[in-house]
Amino acid sequence: MNDEFSVPVSVPLDADGFLRRECPNCEEEFKWFSHAEGDPDAEPVDQYFCPRCGQGAGLDSWWTPAQLDYASGAAAPAVDDFINNALDDVFKGLKSNKHFKVTRTGHYSSEIPTPEPLHEPNDMVIVEPPCHPSEPVKVPEDATGRVYCLVCGSPFAA
Ligand SMILES: [Zn+2]
Ligand SMILES: [Zn+2]
């Protein structure tokens, strides 16, 4: 058995294909365009810059609290299965004999309820950084006066 496993959890995109994000620095929300896997327009980066405050952070730092809640709930059944399979392995390794009978009666459950699917409203306005037009972002209408490029952090006005 592996020490690590991952559970794919999908979060919805809005009608324009944008994914809601929250900056770990300023905690403001924006959206970035979710490129399809293998899209040649996707910029290979190891960090993104917040369009709202211009601070950079690693690729995995941008989940909104609602997305994290949803992901832990949606992953719970797979986590339960993983733990139960691991327990089965442990019990298989314990041999019963005529003096000592090993049976497993419990079933592990994290008892996290399956979450309601996330709904992504088609809010905010699309802005394209002049330096990286293939990486548009969405920001609230009142935040378009100063936006930072997701890829390089250069400020621009939409
Ligand atoms: Zn920010
Ligand atoms: Zn740029």
Q: What is the CA radius of gyration of the chain?
A: 22
Please tell me the predicted confidence (pLDDT) of residue 22. Answer: 98
Please tell me the predicted confidence (pLDDT) of residue 87. Answer: 87
Please tell me the predicted confidence (pLDDT) of residue 30. Answer: 98
Please tell me the predicted confidence (pLDDT) of residue 2. Answer: 52
Q: How far, in Å, from the CA of 119 to the mean position of ligand 2?
A: 30
Q: How far, in Å, from the CA of 62 to the mean position of ligand 2?
A: 18
For the chain, what is the HEC assignment? CCCCCCCCCCCCCCCCCEEEEECCCCCCEEEEECCCCCCCCCCCCCEEECCCCCCEEECCCCCCHHHHHHHHHHHHHHHHHHHHHHHHHHHHHCCCECCECCCCCCCCCCCCCCCCCCCCCCCCEEECCCCCCCCCEEECHHHCCCEECCCCCCEECC
Q: How far, in Å, from the CA of 25 to the mean position of ligand 1?
A: 5
Please tell me the predicted confidence (pLDDT) of residue 140. Answer: 97
| Ligand positioned closest to the Cα atom of 54 | 1
Q: Which stretches of the chain drop beneath a pLDDT of 50?
A: 1
Please tell me the predicted confidence (pLDDT) of residue 3. Answer: 63
Q: How, if at all, do strands 147-148 and 155-156 pair?
A: antiparallel
pTM of the complete model: 0.78
